[in-house]
Amino acid sequence: MSPALHAAQIALLNDQTRLPTTAQFFIVAAVMVTKWDRHRRTRKALGKLDKHILNDIGLTKPTAMNEAQKPFWQD
């Protein structure tokens, strides 16, 4: 099984009028973990960017470091 959902799997979920409670729980958990992982990866990358690149995207080094040091679960 690939890491991403296939179109058929998404279609099956979308065709349901109501998902079973257990399925709802696991979908919410999967979305939350995916969001946390994205935060972790992007913050790690942000913390490694050089000052001139940060300047190109409109951030200062202190602002970038502040964001990079946030815990993964924090928005």
Give domain status of residue 35, yes or no: no
Residue range of the domain that includes 70? 40-75
Residue 2 domain flag: no
In-domain check, residue 75: yes
Distance CA 67, CA 47 (A): 8
Question: What local confidence, expressed as pLDDT, does residue 38 receive?
Answer: 97
Residue 22 falls within a domain, yes or no?
Answer: no
**Domain-embedded: residue 56:** yes
pLDDT of 24-46, one tens digit each?
A: 999 999 999 999 999 999 999 99
Q: Would you say residue 3 has pLDDT above 70?
A: no
Total domains present in the chain:
1
Confidence bin at 16 (pLDDT 50/70/90)? confident
Residue 61 domain flag: yes
Identify whether the C-beta of residue 74 lies closer than 8 Å to the C-beta of residue 38: no
